[in-house]
Amino acid sequence: MSAKETEERRQYLSFALAGSDYAVGILQVKEILQYETVTRVPSVPPSVRGVINLRGAVVAVVDLAVKFGLPVTAVTRRTCILIVEAALGGERTVVGIVADAVREVLELGPEEIEPPPSFGTQVRVDYLVGMGKAGKGFVLLLDLDRVISAGEKDLAAQTLAVDPAAMAPAPASATAGAAS
């Protein structure tokens, strides 16, 4: 492999969501958290699961399954929250996205990425940068800057205009019921 080919290869973190495999650029992933209580926030888009307190910062948590028109992601022992960075209104913003499970880090070159399909996926084509070849299958490569809307992040943060340390988590039974 030449130096030029190595430079063009990019890493993606793949994860499962509603029976399909997705991936985001590894440089946009800040950390992966085990799914814990998410504080519900009234009057936010259905795709906003709520907010979490991440070391003193209020972070909106988005359920991409709902955004893609699928059922709410059920919480299991493998469910996690990917803390990612997306460009919203020209600014970098930290947001959490719910994933059924994290898969692996993929390294893909341009020859391993196909254009987004115009059919056969629940995801809007403008949310995709392409389809990466992963083994014998494909993984949908998401454009987080387009997937995460400013409204989702802003509504969650503005509606919960309290000190993050004062956030009262929803009872575990309420969270489990909302997830099914």
Instruction: Give the pLDDT confidence of 51-65 residue by residue, as tens digits.
Output: 999 999 999 999 999
Give me the number of domains the chain comprises. Answer: 1
| Dist. CA 99–CA 32, nearest whole Å | 10
Tell me, what's the pLDDT at 63?
Answer: 94
Range of the domain at 163: 3-179
The CATH number assigned to the domain holding 15 equals 2.40.50.180
If you average pLDDT over residues 128-140, what whole number do you get?
90
Q: pLDDT tens-digit profile of 152-172?
A: 666 555 544 544 554 555 444
In whole angstroms, give the CA distance from residue 129 to residue 123.
11
Residue 66, pLDDT > 50, answer yes
How do residues 67-119 score in pLDDT, each as one tens digit? 988 899 999 999 999 999 988 777 888 999 999 999 999 999 999 999 987 76
Phi first, then psi, for residue 150 (nearest 5°) are -60, -35
Share of the chain above pLDDT 70, in %: 77
Mean pLDDT over 143-154 rounds to 77
CA separation for the pair 33, 80 (Å, rounded): 6
What is this structure's pTM? 0.79
Question: How far apart, in whole angstroms, are the C-alpha atoms of residue 66 and residue 179?
Answer: 11
The token pair at 98 is: 């719910």
Segment 39-44 shows an average pLDDT of 87
Q: Report the pLDDT value the prediction gives residue 15, as an integer from 0 to 100.
A: 96
**Per-residue pLDDT, 152:** 65
